[in-house]
Structure 1
């Protein structure tokens, strides 16, 4: 156990500095060279712009999409996805209103009738889909 695991290095032999520079030395150093200052009487000529032929700007293209009012039944319209005129497919889905009606029926003691709002299309929202590409088109809320 007489041997040391790591050899000792003499700082003077390795040219190592004992301590980092002081705060004042660090602050007084300029990390970036400064540009030479121009005399205050110097005149800087503005850049000369040459006339280039102006290009005709085309007006932006604005797409206007007519929204058809959707109802509880299928309707014929142009699909915004496939651009085909098709009759929509409808699917009725339950909404918050459907759940509230069922809850009110249960609260009033008509638990046997609580399933009626889920069976009646008039208590559910109607979602419209394209019959060609099955894209969602819109909803008719009741």
Structure 2
């Protein structure tokens, strides 16, 4: 193995010529790179017309009010937003539960579903005019 500072062997690398005469001159018509072209100036900016702004509006979409067992906010006939009042009324679910209790033999307890609001239908009342705004039926 050769020493780290030793020059490489001569047989691996070809000898480097000492004068430039060893290389033939490159003719000007066959130059490696074409001559630089003068840069063209971009055309002057033309006067542009004034920008037109187009405003697109979407029509107002009425959101559907979902009536459940909690008060909701509605718009009354006068355009005011009001919160509905709840009124519980016996519906089909109350009568079905009462019938099942009666059939099971607990006839003395069949009036209990008529006292529980969770089994009744919910009527949403408009407080300004007293009309029914919506109904949530359990069944």
TM-score (structure 1 length as normaliser): 0.51
Where do residues 1-142 of structure 1 align in structure 2 (5 Å cutoff)?
Answer: 65-79=62-76, 81-142=77-138
Alpha-carbon distance change, 83 to 136 in structure 1, aligned in 2, over 3 angstroms: farther
Q: How large is the RMSD of aligned CA atoms in angstroms?
A: 1.9
Shift, 1:135, TM fit = 1.6
Query: Which 5+ residue runs of structure 2 have no aligned equivalent?
Result: 1-58
The structure 1 segments of at least 4 consecutive aligned residues displaced by more than 4 Å after TM superposition are: none
How many pairs does the alignment contain?
80
Give, in angstroms, the shift of residue 109 of structure 1.
Answer: 0.8
Q: For 2:85, what is the secondary structure of its paired residue?
A: strand
d(CA) in 1 for partners of 2:101, 2:91: 16
Pair 1:120–1:75, CA change in 2 (3 A): same
Q: Is the 8 A contact 1:70 1:140 kept in 2?
A: yes
Gaps of 5+ in 1: 1-61
CA contact (8 A) 1:74 1:128 kept: yes
| Larger-gyration structure (1/2) | 2
TM-score, normalised to structure 2, is: 0.52
